[in-house]
Amino acid sequence: MDLCRADKVLLAGGAALATSAALFGASTGGLGVPAAAFAAILADGIFRPSSSTFYPTLSRGPRARAQVALTFDDGPDAEVTPRVLDTLNEYGARATFFMIGRHLERAMSIGTRVVAEGHEIGNHSWAHSYLQNFYSVRSLLGDIERTESLIRTLTRSAAVPLYRAPVGLKSPRLARAAHARSLRIVAWSVHSRDTLDSNPKRVAERVLAKIRPGDIVLLHDGHQNAGAHRHSGADSLPLILQGLRAR
């Protein structure tokens, strides 16, 4: 049986709890402390975006190379994404756009431009539902494949697109679906907080204060809700690129 990492963690944790209870009884030391430790491991796997507890997750690149990766989530957005592309073109920079499938379906022309200008499109689920981790494995696979099909239409590539889970959350069910599809899951090491801060100067300063070689930077060119817009990432991008170029 081909078990994913999440299943191995769950089986190992369950076995450890059963062994501890058998040896020491259902006491605080025999069951309470091990159960609390196992719960902490599970929480890390679910809620820490860069955690590889349930599934191998890339959160940064090599520190030895003077390069960083810029990533944009939740697009494409007809108002914002073209501005991001214009700025990237001006500075000769490339980025990865983790797109929501239902947004991409309505803006395939922007997706075409993203690919034509040398950027990468990643899979950010079909609908960016906060309930996605409660989906069945079958539903998760359908969600992943639906967006992947659109991306492949644009890229004309057989390669499986990079995947970023909504909000970075990864449940055991998502891990099983990712394992079945051999996904490469990408998180981030620097969060711009551009979803909370509308001041582009502060957003840029936050990124530049934290950034180191190899970092993966999270910015946003879209919004999970149709019709809503986030401009902070696009507004801060020239300042971020100026700061990186100065280094």
Q: Which residues contact 88 (CB under 8 A, 6 or more apart)?
A: 70, 94, 95, 117, 119, 237, 241
Active site residue 73: yes
Name the one residue in this structure whose structure tokens are 């149709």.
226
Find out whether 104 and 81 touch, Cβ atoms under 8 Å: no
Find out whether 164 and 73 touch, Cβ atoms under 8 Å: yes
Active site residue 231: no
Active-site residue, selected from the candidate residues 191, 220, 221, 223: 220
Find out whether 174 and 5 touch, Cβ atoms under 8 Å: no
**Alpha carbons 185 and 48: distance in angstroms, whole number:** 13
Neighbours of 126 (CB within 10 A): 22
- Rg, the chain, Cα only: 20
DSSP 166: G
Catalytic residues: 73, 220
